[in-house]
Chain A
Protein backbone atom coordinates (compact mmCIF):
# COMPACT_ATOMS: atom_id res chain seq x y z
CA UNK A 1 0.00 0.00 0.00
CA UNK A 2 1.29 3.42 -0.91
CA UNK A 3 1.44 6.06 1.77
CA UNK A 4 1.46 8.87 -0.78
CA UNK A 5 -1.68 9.20 -2.83
CA UNK A 6 -0.44 12.24 -4.76
CA UNK A 7 3.09 13.06 -5.85
CA UNK A 8 3.87 16.23 -7.75
CA UNK A 9 7.33 17.12 -8.99
CA UNK A 10 8.45 20.28 -10.73
CA UNK A 11 4.95 21.08 -11.89
CA UNK A 12 4.69 24.20 -14.01
CA UNK A 13 1.65 25.49 -15.83
CA UNK A 14 1.78 28.50 -18.09
CA UNK A 15 -1.08 30.24 -19.84
CA UNK A 16 0.60 31.89 -22.82
CA UNK A 17 3.35 33.81 -21.06
CA UNK A 18 1.79 33.89 -17.59
CA UNK A 19 2.98 31.31 -15.07
CA UNK A 20 0.04 30.01 -13.05
CA UNK A 21 2.12 27.35 -11.31
CA UNK A 22 5.88 27.48 -11.02
CA UNK A 23 7.92 24.40 -10.11
CA UNK A 24 5.47 23.02 -7.55
CA UNK A 25 6.66 20.03 -5.53
CA UNK A 26 4.06 18.44 -3.32
CA UNK A 27 3.43 15.13 -1.64
CA UNK A 28 0.01 14.32 -0.25
CA UNK A 29 -0.30 11.40 2.13
CA UNK A 30 -3.21 9.01 2.00
CA UNK A 31 -6.26 9.51 4.25
CA UNK A 32 -5.61 13.16 5.09
CA UNK A 33 -7.69 16.28 4.74
CA UNK A 34 -5.43 18.84 3.14
CA UNK A 35 -6.18 22.55 2.85
CA UNK A 36 -4.76 24.34 -0.18
CA UNK A 37 -4.68 27.96 0.90
CA UNK A 38 -4.01 31.13 -0.99
CA UNK A 39 -5.68 34.27 -2.29
CA UNK A 40 -7.36 34.55 -5.68
CA UNK A 41 -4.87 34.02 -8.48
CA UNK A 42 -2.39 32.02 -6.41
CA UNK A 43 -2.82 28.93 -8.57
CA UNK A 44 -5.16 26.86 -6.41
CA UNK A 45 -7.76 26.19 -9.05
CA UNK A 46 -5.14 25.50 -11.72
CA UNK A 47 -3.51 22.92 -9.44
CA UNK A 48 -6.83 21.22 -8.74
CA UNK A 49 -7.80 21.20 -12.41
CA UNK A 50 -4.55 19.46 -13.27
CA UNK A 51 -5.20 16.85 -10.56
CA UNK A 52 -8.74 16.41 -11.86
CA UNK A 53 -7.35 15.77 -15.34
CA UNK A 54 -8.99 18.83 -16.89
CA UNK A 55 -5.82 20.78 -17.59
CA UNK A 56 -2.48 19.40 -18.73
CA UNK A 57 0.77 20.39 -17.06
CA UNK A 58 3.16 22.48 -19.13
CA UNK A 59 6.01 20.58 -17.51
CA UNK A 60 6.73 18.43 -14.49
CA UNK A 61 5.25 15.20 -13.23
CA UNK A 62 1.96 14.47 -11.49
CA UNK A 63 1.13 11.02 -10.11
CA UNK A 64 -2.17 10.12 -8.46
CA UNK A 65 -2.23 6.68 -6.90
CA UNK A 66 0.87 6.00 -9.00
CA UNK A 67 -0.76 7.05 -12.30
CA UNK A 68 -0.51 10.10 -14.52
CA UNK A 69 -3.80 12.01 -14.85
CA UNK A 70 -6.00 10.15 -17.30
CA UNK A 71 -8.81 7.64 -17.49
CA UNK A 72 -7.74 5.73 -14.36
CA UNK A 73 -7.22 8.79 -12.19
CA UNK A 74 -10.56 10.24 -13.26
CA UNK A 75 -12.20 7.05 -12.01
CA UNK A 76 -10.75 7.55 -8.52
CA UNK A 77 -10.88 11.33 -8.25
CA UNK A 78 -14.14 13.07 -7.41
CA UNK A 79 -13.91 16.74 -8.28
CA UNK A 80 -16.04 19.67 -7.16
CA UNK A 81 -15.37 22.60 -9.49
CA UNK A 82 -15.56 26.16 -8.21
CA UNK A 83 -18.78 26.77 -10.12
CA UNK A 84 -22.06 24.97 -10.71
CA UNK A 85 -21.62 22.14 -13.22
CA UNK A 86 -25.25 21.09 -13.62
CA UNK A 87 -27.59 22.01 -16.44
CA UNK A 88 -30.42 24.42 -15.69
CA UNK A 89 -33.10 22.14 -17.16
CA UNK A 90 -32.28 19.38 -14.66
CA UNK A 91 -34.25 18.55 -11.59
CA UNK A 92 -32.33 17.39 -8.52
CA UNK A 93 -33.38 13.83 -9.37
CA UNK A 94 -32.02 14.20 -12.93
CA UNK A 95 -28.70 15.32 -11.51
CA UNK A 96 -28.55 12.20 -9.33
CA UNK A 97 -29.41 9.98 -12.32
CA UNK A 98 -26.79 11.78 -14.40
CA UNK A 99 -24.11 11.00 -11.84
CA UNK A 100 -25.32 7.42 -11.48
CA UNK A 101 -24.97 6.89 -15.23
CA UNK A 102 -21.63 8.59 -15.37
CA UNK A 103 -19.73 7.09 -12.44
CA UNK A 104 -19.48 3.42 -11.46
CA UNK A 105 -18.56 4.32 -7.90
CA UNK A 106 -21.66 6.46 -7.34
CA UNK A 107 -23.60 5.46 -4.22
CA UNK A 108 -27.22 6.40 -4.85
CA UNK A 109 -28.34 5.70 -1.28
CA UNK A 110 -25.68 7.95 0.12
CA UNK A 111 -26.80 10.68 -2.28
CA UNK A 112 -30.40 10.46 -1.04
CA UNK A 113 -29.27 10.52 2.58
CA UNK A 114 -27.16 13.58 1.90
CA UNK A 115 -29.99 15.29 0.02
CA UNK A 116 -32.21 14.75 3.07
CA UNK A 117 -29.49 16.07 5.33
CA UNK A 118 -29.08 19.13 3.12
CA UNK A 119 -32.89 19.51 2.98
CA UNK A 120 -32.91 19.43 -0.81
CA UNK A 121 -36.11 18.24 -2.47
CA UNK A 122 -35.56 15.84 -5.38
CA UNK A 123 -38.22 17.57 -7.47
CA UNK A 124 -36.65 21.01 -7.39
CA UNK A 125 -35.27 22.37 -10.63
CA UNK A 126 -31.63 23.34 -10.71
CA UNK A 127 -32.32 26.81 -12.09
CA UNK A 128 -34.60 27.62 -9.14
CA UNK A 129 -31.95 26.79 -6.54
CA UNK A 130 -30.15 29.51 -4.62
CA UNK A 131 -26.36 29.72 -4.76
CA UNK A 132 -26.06 27.90 -1.42
CA UNK A 133 -28.48 25.17 -2.49
CA UNK A 134 -26.61 24.65 -5.77
CA UNK A 135 -23.37 24.35 -3.83
CA UNK A 136 -24.97 21.77 -1.52
CA UNK A 137 -26.33 19.80 -4.46
CA UNK A 138 -23.00 19.82 -6.27
CA UNK A 139 -21.21 18.73 -3.12
CA UNK A 140 -23.79 16.00 -2.44
CA UNK A 141 -23.11 14.48 -5.85
CA UNK A 142 -19.35 14.72 -5.52
CA UNK A 143 -19.30 13.20 -2.02
CA UNK A 144 -21.63 10.37 -3.05
CA UNK A 145 -18.92 8.77 -5.12
CA UNK A 146 -16.71 6.18 -3.42
CA UNK A 147 -13.60 7.92 -4.59
CA UNK A 148 -10.07 7.63 -3.29
CA UNK A 149 -9.48 11.34 -3.72
CA UNK A 150 -11.97 14.15 -3.28
CA UNK A 151 -10.96 17.51 -4.68
CA UNK A 152 -13.16 20.33 -3.49
CA UNK A 153 -12.62 23.79 -4.95
CA UNK A 154 -14.00 26.45 -2.63
CA UNK A 155 -16.88 24.36 -1.23
CA UNK A 156 -18.10 27.08 1.13
CA UNK A 157 -17.52 30.21 -0.94
CA UNK A 158 -20.50 32.51 -0.90
CA UNK A 159 -22.88 30.37 1.17
CA UNK A 160 -24.66 31.43 4.34
CA UNK A 161 -23.49 30.24 7.78
CA UNK A 162 -26.13 27.51 8.10
CA UNK A 163 -25.31 26.08 4.69
CA UNK A 164 -21.63 26.37 5.55
CA UNK A 165 -22.13 24.27 8.69
CA UNK A 166 -24.10 21.68 6.74
CA UNK A 167 -21.34 21.51 4.16
CA UNK A 168 -18.65 21.14 6.83
CA UNK A 169 -20.67 18.39 8.52
CA UNK A 170 -21.11 16.58 5.21
CA UNK A 171 -17.39 16.77 4.54
CA UNK A 172 -16.47 15.50 8.01
CA UNK A 173 -19.06 12.72 7.96
CA UNK A 174 -18.01 11.50 4.56
CA UNK A 175 -14.33 11.52 5.26
CA UNK A 176 -12.95 8.07 5.95
CA UNK A 177 -9.59 6.43 6.18
CA UNK A 178 -9.76 5.16 2.63
CA UNK A 179 -10.09 8.61 1.17
CA UNK A 180 -8.03 11.74 0.85
CA UNK A 181 -9.48 15.21 0.56
CA UNK A 182 -7.94 18.28 -1.01
CA UNK A 183 -9.87 21.42 -0.27
CA UNK A 184 -9.12 24.95 -1.41
CA UNK A 185 -10.42 27.95 0.43
CA UNK A 186 -9.65 31.52 1.19
CA UNK A 187 -12.11 31.35 4.10
CA UNK A 188 -9.42 29.90 6.30
CA UNK A 189 -11.02 30.68 9.63
CA UNK A 190 -14.14 28.71 8.81
CA UNK A 191 -12.31 25.64 7.65
CA UNK A 192 -8.94 25.44 9.38
CA UNK A 193 -10.11 23.05 12.10
CA UNK A 194 -10.87 20.29 9.65
CA UNK A 195 -7.43 20.22 8.02
CA UNK A 196 -4.73 17.70 8.87
CA UNK A 197 -2.24 19.47 6.67
CA UNK A 198 -2.11 22.83 4.94
CA UNK A 199 -0.31 24.05 1.84
CA UNK A 200 0.11 27.77 1.26
CA UNK A 201 0.26 28.70 -2.41
CA UNK A 202 1.69 32.09 -3.23
CA UNK A 203 1.96 33.36 -6.79
CA UNK A 204 2.01 29.85 -8.19
CA UNK A 205 4.61 28.47 -5.77
CA UNK A 206 4.41 26.44 -2.59
CA UNK A 207 5.29 28.99 0.05
CA UNK A 208 4.83 26.81 3.11
CA UNK A 209 3.36 23.43 3.92
CA UNK A 210 2.99 21.31 6.99
CA UNK A 211 0.84 19.65 9.60
CA UNK A 212 -1.77 22.14 10.81
CA UNK A 213 -1.37 21.32 14.51
CA UNK A 214 2.44 21.42 14.27
CA UNK A 215 2.29 24.83 12.59
CA UNK A 216 -0.05 26.16 15.29
CA UNK A 217 2.33 24.95 18.00
CA UNK A 218 5.47 26.12 16.25
CA UNK A 219 4.21 29.58 15.21
CA UNK A 220 1.97 30.03 18.22
CA UNK A 221 -0.87 31.22 16.03
CA UNK A 222 -3.96 30.00 14.27
CA UNK A 223 -3.65 29.01 10.62
CA UNK A 224 -5.95 31.94 9.86
CA UNK A 225 -3.44 34.35 11.43
CA UNK A 226 -0.57 32.64 9.67
CA UNK A 227 -2.47 33.09 6.41
CA UNK A 228 -2.85 36.80 7.12
CA UNK A 229 0.84 37.06 7.95
CA UNK A 230 1.86 35.38 4.72
CA UNK A 231 -0.57 37.12 2.40
CA UNK A 232 -1.17 40.37 4.27
CA UNK A 233 0.25 43.65 3.12
Chain B
Protein backbone atom coordinates (compact mmCIF):
# COMPACT_ATOMS: atom_id res chain seq x y z
CA UNK B 1 0.00 0.00 0.00
CA UNK B 2 1.47 3.31 -1.06
CA UNK B 3 1.00 6.03 1.49
CA UNK B 4 2.23 9.36 0.27
CA UNK B 5 2.67 11.56 3.23
CA UNK B 6 5.33 11.99 5.83
CA UNK B 7 3.76 14.11 8.47
CA UNK B 8 0.45 14.00 10.25
CA UNK B 9 -0.80 17.55 10.18
CA UNK B 10 -4.21 17.41 11.68
CA UNK B 11 -4.61 17.75 15.37
CA UNK B 12 -6.39 14.41 15.57
CA UNK B 13 -5.12 11.31 17.30
CA UNK B 14 -2.87 9.51 14.85
CA UNK B 15 -4.84 6.26 14.90
CA UNK B 16 -7.88 8.16 13.61
CA UNK B 17 -5.81 9.73 10.84
CA UNK B 18 -4.57 6.30 9.84
CA UNK B 19 -8.14 4.96 9.88
CA UNK B 20 -9.16 7.83 7.59
CA UNK B 21 -6.35 7.11 5.15
CA UNK B 22 -7.42 3.49 4.90
CA UNK B 23 -11.10 4.41 4.59
CA UNK B 24 -10.30 6.75 1.71
CA UNK B 25 -8.37 4.00 -0.02
CA UNK B 26 -11.33 1.66 0.37
CA UNK B 27 -13.75 4.25 -1.03
CA UNK B 28 -11.50 5.05 -3.98
CA UNK B 29 -11.21 1.34 -4.70
CA UNK B 30 -7.44 1.30 -4.18
CA UNK B 31 -8.13 -1.25 -1.47
CA UNK B 32 -10.78 -3.72 -2.58
CA UNK B 33 -12.86 -6.22 -0.65
CA UNK B 34 -10.66 -9.12 0.41
CA UNK B 35 -7.39 -7.20 -0.06
CA UNK B 36 -4.81 -7.61 2.65
CA UNK B 37 -3.70 -4.59 4.62
CA UNK B 38 0.03 -4.16 5.26
CA UNK B 39 1.23 -5.87 8.42
CA UNK B 40 1.29 -3.70 11.52
CA UNK B 41 5.07 -3.84 11.52
CA UNK B 42 5.40 -2.83 7.85
CA UNK B 43 3.00 0.07 8.08
CA UNK B 44 4.60 1.15 11.31
CA UNK B 45 8.00 1.33 9.62
CA UNK B 46 6.62 2.98 6.52
CA UNK B 47 4.82 5.72 8.41
CA UNK B 48 7.34 5.87 11.27
CA UNK B 49 4.54 5.47 13.74
CA UNK B 50 4.45 3.43 16.92
CA UNK B 51 3.24 -0.14 16.17
CA UNK B 52 0.67 0.11 18.97
CA UNK B 53 -0.90 3.07 17.17
CA UNK B 54 -1.26 1.07 13.94
CA UNK B 55 -2.67 -1.83 15.95
CA UNK B 56 -5.22 0.51 17.50
CA UNK B 57 -6.26 1.82 14.06
CA UNK B 58 -6.75 -1.74 12.79
CA UNK B 59 -8.75 -2.68 15.87
CA UNK B 60 -11.05 0.30 15.47
CA UNK B 61 -11.54 -0.46 11.78
CA UNK B 62 -12.41 -4.00 12.77
CA UNK B 63 -14.90 -2.70 15.31
CA UNK B 64 -16.53 -0.76 12.47
CA UNK B 65 -16.62 -4.02 10.48
CA UNK B 66 -14.54 -2.50 7.68
CA UNK B 67 -11.79 -5.05 8.08
CA UNK B 68 -11.44 -8.49 9.58
CA UNK B 69 -8.49 -10.33 11.03
CA UNK B 70 -7.58 -13.89 10.21
CA UNK B 71 -5.36 -15.38 12.82
CA UNK B 72 -1.84 -15.75 11.51
CA UNK B 73 -2.82 -14.45 8.08
CA UNK B 74 -3.31 -10.74 8.57
CA UNK B 75 -5.98 -8.09 8.30
CA UNK B 76 -8.28 -7.92 5.26
CA UNK B 77 -10.78 -5.46 3.84
CA UNK B 78 -14.38 -6.59 4.26
CA UNK B 79 -16.02 -8.28 1.29
CA UNK B 80 -19.42 -7.05 2.37
CA UNK B 81 -20.55 -4.60 -0.35
CA UNK B 82 -23.18 -3.09 1.94
CA UNK B 83 -20.63 -2.05 4.53
CA UNK B 84 -18.48 -0.37 1.86
CA UNK B 85 -21.57 1.37 0.45
CA UNK B 86 -22.46 2.64 3.93
CA UNK B 87 -18.91 3.90 4.34
CA UNK B 88 -19.17 5.85 1.10
CA UNK B 89 -22.51 7.29 2.16
CA UNK B 90 -21.29 8.39 5.55
CA UNK B 91 -18.09 9.89 4.10
CA UNK B 92 -20.15 11.82 1.53
CA UNK B 93 -22.63 13.04 4.07
CA UNK B 94 -19.84 14.19 6.38
CA UNK B 95 -18.27 16.20 3.59
CA UNK B 96 -21.58 17.76 2.62
CA UNK B 97 -22.54 18.52 6.20
CA UNK B 98 -19.23 20.25 6.82
CA UNK B 99 -19.66 22.25 3.65
CA UNK B 100 -23.19 23.32 4.55
CA UNK B 101 -22.18 24.27 8.09
CA UNK B 102 -19.30 26.34 6.72
CA UNK B 103 -21.54 28.11 4.23
CA UNK B 104 -24.20 28.79 6.85
CA UNK B 105 -21.61 30.25 9.19
CA UNK B 106 -20.68 32.65 6.39
CA UNK B 107 -24.34 33.71 6.20
CA UNK B 108 -25.50 31.84 3.09
CA UNK B 109 -29.08 30.56 3.14
CA UNK B 110 -29.90 27.04 1.99
CA UNK B 111 -31.39 28.53 -1.20
CA UNK B 112 -28.17 30.44 -1.88
CA UNK B 113 -26.17 27.28 -1.35
CA UNK B 114 -28.38 25.28 -3.72
CA UNK B 115 -28.08 28.00 -6.35
CA UNK B 116 -24.29 28.15 -6.09
CA UNK B 117 -23.99 24.38 -6.34
CA UNK B 118 -26.30 24.22 -9.35
CA UNK B 119 -24.31 26.92 -11.13
CA UNK B 120 -21.04 25.18 -10.36
CA UNK B 121 -22.32 21.87 -11.65
CA UNK B 122 -23.52 23.50 -14.88
CA UNK B 123 -20.13 25.25 -15.32
CA UNK B 124 -18.40 21.95 -14.84
CA UNK B 125 -20.20 20.25 -17.69
A complexed with B: yes
Interface residues of A (CB under 8 A from B): 32-33, 165, 168-169, 172-173, 175, 189, 193-196, 212-214, 216-217, 220-222, 225
Complex contact A168–B13 (CB within 8 A): no
Count, A-B residue pairs, CB within 8 A = 47
Selected from B14, B49, B50, the residue in CB contact (under 8 A) with A216 is B14
Contacts A213-B14, A225-B11 given; does A193 touch B53 at CB 8 Å: yes
Chain A residues within 8 Å of B50, by CB:
33, 172, 193-196, 212
A150 to B48, CA, bound (A): 18
User: Is B45 an interface residue, CB under 8 A from the partner?
Assistant: yes
Main secondary structure of the interface of A (DSSP, over half): helix
Complex contact B48–A194 (CB within 8 A): yes
Complex contact B47–A193 (CB within 8 A): yes
Contacts A165-B48, A172-B44, A173-B45 given; does A193 touch B13 at CB 8 Å: no
User: Is B8 an interface residue, CB under 8 A from the partner?
Assistant: yes
User: Is B33 an interface residue, CB under 8 A from the partner?
Assistant: no
26 contacts between A and B (CB under 8 A): A32-B52, A33-B50, A165-B48, A169-B45, A169-B48, A172-B48, A172-B50, A173-B41, A173-B45, A189-B7, A193-B47, A193-B48, A194-B48, A194-B49, A194-B50, A195-B50, A196-B52, A196-B53, A212-B50, A213-B13, A213-B56, A216-B12, A216-B14, A217-B12, A222-B8, A225-B11
User: Is B15 an interface residue, CB under 8 A from the partner?
Assistant: yes
CB distance from B21 to the nearest CB of A (A): 13
In which size bucket is the chain B interface? 10 to 19
Complex contact A221–B48 (CB within 8 A): no
| Residues of chain B from 11 to 38 with CB closer than 8 A to chain A in the complex | 11-15
Selected from A165, A173, A213, the residue in CB contact (under 8 A) with B53 is A213
Residue of B nearest to A165 (CB): B48
Chain A residues within 8 Å of B52, by CB:
32, 196
Chain A residues within 8 Å of B51, by CB:
172, 175
